[in-house]
Amino acid sequence: MNAHTPDAPAAGTTDDLPFERALEQLEEIVRRLERGDVPLDESVAIYERGEALKRHCETLLKRAEARIQKIAIGPEGQAAGTASLDIE
């Protein structure tokens, strides 16, 4: 199952990692940690990688949310344009 998520990229940066790939790696880390058969030092290293992936995914999601626009509905119930989505 680790064939699609080699250990080598675990130490790499997340900067250019697409959301889907980062999420896939994060899910693999969770599976490995939940199995409980990873040595302690490796568990700590992959946990740290998981934290970095989590932060990266959150950043990408916030960027995507900032780009989402809501459709403004006119008085006759038809789309009258768009307005920026208010976040928070």
Range of the domain at 14: 2-84
The count of domains in the chain is 1
57/17 Cα distance (integer angstroms): 9
Span 3-55, pLDDT tens digits: 334 443 445 788 899 999 999 999 999 999 999 999 999 999 999 999 999 99
More confident residue, 18 or 79: 18
Indicate whether 79 pLDDT > 90. Answer: no
61/21 Cα distance (integer angstroms): 14
Name 62's Cβ contacts closer than 8 Å, sequence gap at least 6.
87
Q: Which of left, alpha, beta for 62 (phi over 0: left; psi -120 to 50: alpha)?
A: alpha
Report how many helices (DSSP H) and strands (DSSP E) the chain contains, helices first: 2, 2
